[in-house]
Amino acid sequence: MQRENKKINKIDGRNLKIAIIVSKFNVDITEKMLQGALEVLRINKVKKNNIEIVWVPGAYEIPLACQKLAKEKKYDGLVAIGCVIKGDTDHYYYISQEVSRGIMDVMLKFSLPIGFGVITVNNLKQAKDRANERCNKGKEATEAVLDMTYAFPFKSIVR
């Protein structure tokens, strides 16, 4: 059972630069998560021209895109959005684990907050339940990044 986090912090994000990395695989789900992420950035006054959206083929490619963007040292935070749905083989476990590890490695190597919006679910219904108006993991991942940029001045580390 999922718990809902009702508390949403609003910050002044006018000076923040955020990149969102989105998987094209399961795009019907990731696109809804992207819309949720963009809504959070809008609410927190992040300027449209300070938001970059990078599309990658699948979840497995997200860590490399995160690393390339982190190396540019121009973003205050990244948001990783993907959807991995369990199938009949073990492929799901390998992808899920490596994507998670890869994103964490980039976050720690570059001291750059990365919102983890890569959902790993058993079926399409669970994915849809995590990419809608009531519960949107793209929103939650973006809120986490904004909270981290507000709580810790990462700019001094990455720039």
Give the catalytic positions in this structure.
91
Query: Who's near 63: CB < 8 A, 6+ residues apart?
Result: 98, 99, 101, 102, 103, 105, 106
* Dihedral sign from CA coordinates of 11, 100, 64, 112: positive
Q: How many beta carbons lie within 10 A of that of residue 54, not counting itself?
A: 15
Residue 66 CA to residue 55 CA, distance in Å, equals 11
